Amino acid sequence: MYHTEVLRVNENHPNAFIIERAASLLREGQVVVFPTETVYGLGGDAMQPQALKRIFAAKERPYSDPLIVHIADVEALELLVTTLPEQAKLLANMFWPGPLTMILPASPRVPKLVTAGLSTVAVRMPRHAVALALIRATGSPIAAPSANRFMHVSPTTAQHALTDLDGRVPLILDSGPCEVGVESTVLDLGAPIPTVLRPGGISLEALQHILPEVVYHKTLSLEKQDEHKAQTAPGQLLTHYAPSVPTFLFEGPTQAVDRAMLAEIQSRQAQNERVGVLIADEDIPTFAISGARIYTLGSASEPGQIATNLFAGLRTLEEAGVQSILCRSFTEQGLGLAIRDRLRKAAGGKVISVNLD
Ligand code: TXA
Ligand code: MG
């Protein structure tokens, strides 16, 4: 057990003294929670097996689930990968620093605990000033999964990370809420066709603009989850991001979704159930007098807002003590694809498709 210290760090101008405090813990093989533009990460020195073991222990994560290595400059790739495909150079130029993780051929120097024994390594350069300063001060790449307990929703605030990891880590750096709110896009560049394994902060459209051949198999993360074990499908378990409350996703035309959700709220309330709903600002008039506990994610026409608030919404409703969470679906354009993926995972397969009749 640790006493978990939480230190506030300015997100644009990180205090060098605090960064050095965190970096010295990392150099000693300890773990530290730090902010990135996507979600908070639980970092450890990627080259120190004892630090990596501490990451898995704190999260209660199985060793079969490989970690993303975070770097602050492209030169660090020399240590981590055997070759750098042309496609990776193009994408790094365009999207790094930023929420894109690339799966690349791993150098034998990369510890097996990072790669779960695979021949590839996942690498990304975050664009958060605190993350970059921390990696540089540590002097080594930092392996970091999201700073939540295994199977829980990823943390987008330091408080979320504290809720999950209090007493399990010595230090949390708090720079306020994360800007993007969903995790990085994971792109497999080792596959014959570059394949998105997890939609995230960089949209499929943006990737295809640079590399038109990039594909995403919508069904992979849903149907093939068990076959792949933890190996090639990140966030592979359908319940990976699940809140601890049963969650239901309603998909279909907005009017039909509204009607179905209102009916579901009524029937659950008739059983004395406390119901929470995750909706958009535009839905407030529809649900205002439903009696459900409401969390609004932002405007339905602004996927960026929805993504930023999504995980906080799930956690807030969970902490409010609701017994079920009903959520509506959004567009699949841009960040919408990642939103759909996280909502489906939160629902753990409990997706209700409705139609206008
Ligand atoms: O935005 C993010 O990516 C955040 C922040 C902290 O950077 N990190 C994050 O890490 O979401 P994590 O561990 O929660 O998710 C990483 C995913 C895992 O599901 C893992 O299966 C996949 O990336 N992954 C890692 N290495 C891989 C590899 N060599 N091949 C295929 N998938 C890999
Ligand atoms: Mg995670």
pLDDT, averaged per 10 consecutive residues of the chain (357 residues), comes to 96 98 98 98 98 98 96 98 97 98 98 97 98 98 97 96 98 98 96 95 98 88 43 50 87 95 98 98 97 98 98 97 97 96 93 91
Q: Which atom of ligand 1 is nearest to the CA of 183?
A: 1
Ligand nearest to the CA of 183: 1
Q: What is the pLDDT of residue 212?
A: 98
Ligand nearest to the CA of 148: 2
Q: Which two tokens stand for residue 327?
A: 């959520």
Closest-CA residue, ligand 1 atom 18, reads: 234
Q: What is the pLDDT of residue 235?
A: 47
Cα angle, residue 326 at apex, residues 357 and 197 outer, rounded to 5°: 95
Q: Which atom of ligand 1 is nearest to the CA of 190?
A: 30
pTM of the model: 0.95
- Helices (H), strands (E): how many in the chain? 13, 16
Between the CA of 106 and the centroid of ligand 1 the distance, in Å, is 15
- Nearest Cα neighbor of 42 from 168, 223, 185 is 168
Between the CA of 144 and the centroid of ligand 1 the distance, in Å, is 8
The number of angstroms, rounded, from the C-alpha of 78 to the middle of its chain's C-alpha atoms is: 26
Closest-CA residue, ligand 1 atom 19, reads: 234
Ligand nearest to the CA of 153: 2
- DSSP-assigned beta bridge partners for residue 41: 34, 146
Q: What is the pLDDT of residue 222?
A: 46
Nearest-10 crossing angle of helices 158-165, 303-319: 40
Cα angle, residue 152 at apex, residues 178 and 202 outer, rounded to 5°: 40
Between the CA of 352 and the centroid of ligand 2 the distance, in Å, is 25
Give the separation between CA 171 and CA 332, rounded to whole angstroms. 37
Between the CA of 154 and the centroid of ligand 2 the distance, in Å, is 6
Between the CA of 103 and the centroid of ligand 2 the distance, in Å, is 16
* Residue indicated by tokens 């999260």: 59
Q: Which atom of ligand 1 is nearest to the CA of 232?
A: 31
Closest-CA residue, ligand 1 atom 10, reads: 145
Q: Which residues line ligand 1 (CB under 6 A)?
A: 36, 38-39, 41, 65-68, 99, 101, 103, 115, 118, 120-122, 126, 144-146, 183-184, 186, 197, 230, 232, 234-235
Give the separation between CA 353 and CA 140, rounded to whole angstroms. 47
Between the CA of 115 and the centroid of ligand 1 the distance, in Å, is 10
Between the CA of 67 and the centroid of ligand 1 the distance, in Å, is 5
Instruction: Report the residue among 36, 68, 156, 240 best suited for mutation to probe ligand 1: largest number of ligand atoms under 8 A from its CB.
Output: 68
